[in-house]
Amino acid sequence: MTAPLIKLIQQSYLKPQVPDFRVGDTVDVLCKISEGDKERVQAFNGVVIARCNSGIDESFIVRRIVANEGVERRFLVHSPNVVDIRVKRRGKVRRAKLYYLRKRIGKARKLRELRVPKKDAAEPELAAAAS
């Protein structure tokens, strides 16, 4: 019964703020790269095709196209090497894993954009209609 002890230790390694992103979103993952004694931050942008596990082991796979070749990379959400995850675009998908995008070519690999209504824009209209 060491599970509570393991959870307690892992709690200190979790990031306090994890951005809200889902499968199908186009994201920029800013990750640290060390070359010799120097460190720099490099962006890896692409579509999130999978999210796996939970807690300290939570990871996600990002796929992008470079020179007509698909490149996939797995990132740990709570890794100290992942500086930031920025959501560029929301994708409308109906599956948890988008492995079928590996076989798609050209426009067929494009996902529909999920349009989220802005709350701030709707409030003035409601206030004007109420008065």
Start-to-end CA distance of the chain, whole Å, equals: 61
pLDDT digits (tens, 9 = 90+) for 67-82: 989 999 999 999 999 9
Within a domain: residue 63? yes
- Write down the pTM of the prediction: 0.82
Q: What is the CATH number of the domain that holds 38?
A: 2.30.30.790
Q: Are 73 and 62 in contact (CB under 8 A)?
A: yes
pLDDT at 129: 55
Within a domain: residue 31? yes
Number of separate domains in the chain = 1
**Torsion sign across C-alpha atoms 91, 94, 95, 101:** negative
Q: Extract the tokens encoding 6.
A: 């393991």
Q: How many CB atoms lie within 10 A of CB 38?
A: 7
Domain that holds residue 20: 16-130
pLDDT at 1: 44
Within a domain: residue 101? yes
Within a domain: residue 6? no
More confident residue, 6 or 2: 6
Within a domain: residue 97? yes
Query: In the block, which residue shows the tokens 């596990």?
Result: 53
Distance CA 42, CA 22 (A): 21
What's CA 87's distance to the chain center, in Å?
A: 7
